[in-house]
Structure 1
Amino acid sequence: MLQIGILLTRHYKLLSLAAITDVLDTVNKIYQKSDQPAPFKVTLLYTPDTAHLTSAFPAYPAQTLAEAGVFKLLLVPSFTADDLSQVLAENEAWLPWLRQQYKKGAELASFCTGAFLLAATGLLDGKIATTHVDACKEFTRAFPRVNLLSDKTVTHDAGIYTSGGATSTFHLLLHLLEIHCGIEVAVRTAKIFAIDMGRDKQSYFSTFQPTRNHHDDLVATAQLKIETCYQEAGTIEEMIKDIPSSRRNIVRRFKQVTGVTPIEYLQLTRIEAAKKLLEQTGQQMTEIIYNSGYNDPKAFRKVFRKTVGMTPSEYREKFNAVR
Structure 2
Amino acid sequence: MINKAPVRISILAMPETSASVVYGMYDMFMSAGRDWSLIVEGAPGPAPIAPQVVSCHGSSFVAGNHVRITPDATLDACAQSDVVCVPELMVPPGEPLDGRFREEIACLRQCHADGKILATACSGAILLAEAGLLDGLEATTHWAYCDLMTRRYPAIKVRSHRALVASGEGQRLIMAGGGTSWLDLALYLIARLAGIETAMQTARINLIDWHDIGQQPFARLARTRQVEDAVIARCQAWIAEHYAEPSPVSAMTQLSGLAERSFKRRFQHATGMSPLAYVHTLRLEEAKQMLESDRQPIEAIANEVGYEDAGFFSRLFRREVSLTPAEYRRRFGAMRDALRTTASCDASSGRVRA
| TM-score normalised by length of structure 2 | 0.83
Runs (5+) with no aligned partner, structure 2? 1-5, 339-354
CA distance change for structure 1 residues 143 and 260 in 2, over 3 Å: closer, same or farther? same
Deviations 1:147-192 (A, max 9, x none): 1111111111131100001110001111111111222211121122
1:120-139 aligned within 5 A: 120-139=130-149
Provide the secondary structure at the position in 2 that maps to 1:51: coil
Most deviating of 110-119 and 232-241: 232-241
- 1:51 counterpart residue number: 59
Provide the secondary structure at the position in 2 that maps to 1:41: strand
CA distance change for structure 1 residues 270 and 198 in 2, over 3 Å: closer, same or farther? closer
* Counterparts of 1:56 and 1:118, CA distance in 2: 25
**What's the CA shift for 1:111?**
0.5
**What's the CA shift for 1:73?**
0.6
CA distance change for structure 1 residues 203 and 88 in 2, over 3 Å: closer, same or farther? farther
Provide the secondary structure at the position in 2 that maps to 1:144: coil
* Counterparts of 1:88 and 1:38, CA distance in 2: 40
2:202 to 174, 181, 189: 189
2:124 to 104, 110, 114: 114
Residues matched between the structures, number: 320
* Counterparts of 1:190 and 1:265, CA distance in 2: 38
1:12 to 17, 28, 47: 17
Provide the secondary structure at the position in 1 that maps to 2:179: coil
Cα contact 1:281–1:322 (8 A) shared by 2: no
* Counterparts of 1:168 and 1:67, CA distance in 2: 26
Cα contact 2:112–2:118 (8 A) shared by 1: yes
**What's the CA shift for 1:43?**
2.3
1:15-164 aligned within 5 A: 15-27=20-32, 29-30=34-35, 33=38, 36-48=45-57, 51-53=59-61, 56=68, 62-66=72-76, 68-82=78-92, 85-86=95-96, 89-157=99-167, 158-164=171-177
CA distance change for structure 1 residues 36 and 229 in 2, over 3 Å: closer, same or farther? closer
Cα contact 1:154–1:200 (8 A) shared by 2: no
* Counterparts of 1:111 and 1:191, CA distance in 2: 21
- 2:307 counterpart residue number: 294
- RMSD after superposition: 2.3
Which amino acid in the other structure matches residue 46 of structure 2?
P
1:244-263 aligned within 5 A: 244-263=257-276
Pair 1:179 & 2:189 matched: no
Runs (5+) with no aligned partner, structure 1? none
CA distance change for structure 1 residues 63 and 209 in 2, over 3 Å: closer, same or farther? closer
* Counterparts of 2:237 and 2:13, CA distance in 1: 43
* Counterparts of 2:185 and 2:240, CA distance in 1: 37
| TM-score normalised by length of structure 1 | 0.91
Cα contact 1:70–1:106 (8 A) shared by 2: no
Which amino acid in the other structure matches residue 19 of structure 2?
L
- 1:2 counterpart residue number: 7
Pair 1:265 & 2:278 matched: yes
Cα contact 1:11–1:87 (8 A) shared by 2: no
* Counterparts of 1:99 and 1:186, CA distance in 2: 28
Pair 1:228 & 2:241 matched: yes
**What's the CA shift for 1:277?**
0.8
2:318 to 300, 305, 319: 305
Deviations 1:67-112 (A, max 9, x none): 5533111110111232564556321111222111121121100000
- 2:351 counterpart residue number: none
Cα contact 1:8–1:53 (8 A) shared by 2: no
* Counterparts of 2:147 and 2:234, CA distance in 1: 22
Percent identity between the aligned chains?
29
Provide the secondary structure at the position in 1 that maps to 2:254: coil
* Counterparts of 2:297 and 2:31, CA distance in 1: 46
**What's the CA shift for 1:292?**
0.7
**What's the CA shift for 1:322?**
4.9
